Amino acid sequence: MKIDSTAEIEISEGDNKTKVSMKLAADKEGLIETRIYTYPEEQTAVVATKKIRTWTLSSDKKVLTITDQIQASNGDNYVMMLVYERQ
């Protein structure tokens, strides 16, 4: 897959909407996916409102790192990192 500009779609599930965009990282060493979630006003649960996921492959192509930065509706922020290493 070749990504040379930002690609964007919108997903609707009832009253919930998700805007998804994908672009090449500024250093051209990874991909950045951004998801912005929209919920009905009556939604009272703590939910994710924005998630940025970055995929980075090491130069030797042996380690894939996936980093999620998640913003919640209550103002909390979370970071999750997954590292896959080829043996």
The range of the structural domain enclosing residue 27 comes to 7-85
Does any domain span residue 1?
no
Does any domain span residue 26?
yes
Does any domain span residue 38?
yes
Whole-number CA gyration radius for the chain: 15
CA–CA separation, 33 and 44 (whole Å): 26
- Is the pLDDT score of 2 beyond 90? no
Average pLDDT, the chain: 89
Tally of domains in the chain? 1
Query: Which pLDDT does position 52 carry in this prediction?
Result: 95
The structure tokens 């980093």 sit at 67
Does any domain span residue 2?
no
Mean pLDDT of 24-29: 82
DSSP letter, residue 75: S
Tell how strand 63-72 and strand 16-24 pair up: unpaired
More confident residue, 29 or 84: 84
Does any domain span residue 78?
yes
Q: Record the tokens describing residue 26, joined without a space.
A: 């500024």
Tell how strand 16-24 and strand 30-38 pair up: antiparallel
